[in-house]
Copies of this chain bind each other. A is one copy, B any other.
């Protein structure tokens, strides 16, 4: 990673094609996503739903004004833990030419700070058990794999 600073900002509609490309450029993502021109309308609908929800933030990391990473934060109020808010992180991706250079750590630390700023007491995420590198990466950041992440596809 060059020494140029990484800037974080909310994603904008113009970024959407690049974000979908980034989601598709991934071992598991390439089978799930559909990066066409024009993009499937469902991506636009999801983007709009995220934008109008103040408890969801789709964030991009930029270097030299170019997007090099993305993630989505969801802030959730729960009764548990005496009415504590949690932050869920999802859809973490870095552009392929930035991998292994510390950008992921920078992004996650930024996300953890943002969760603190929003008053959350827990930051949580699930990661596919097949993503062994990702699990090690999150553990190095202080996350504990204390829970089973259970999914049911409808």
Contacts and interface: CB of A to CB of B under 8 A. Distances in A.
A29 B146 contact: no
Contacts of A72: 78-79
15 contacts: A32-B82, A40-B83, A42-B82, A43-B79, A50-B77, A56-B76, A74-B74, A88-B88, A120-B154, A121-B154, A123-B154, A126-B150, A127-B148, A129-B147, A143-B151
Which of the four size classes fits the interface of chain A? 35 or more
Interface of A: 19-20, 23, 29, 32-34, 40, 42-47, 49-50, 53, 55-56, 58, 72, 74, 76-85, 88, 90-91, 112, 115-116, 120-129, 135, 138-139, 141-154
Please give the count of copies of this chain that the complex contains: 2
A83 B45 contact: yes
Contacts of A29: 80
Contacts of A79: 19-20, 23, 43, 46-47, 50, 58, 72, 91
A82 B24 CA distance: 10
A80 B90 CA distance: 9
Contact of A147 (B78, B81, B82, B126): B126
B129 A150 contact: no
A154 B117 CA distance: 11
B145 A150 contact: yes
Contact of A82 (B43, B81, B142): B43
A78 B72 CA distance: 8
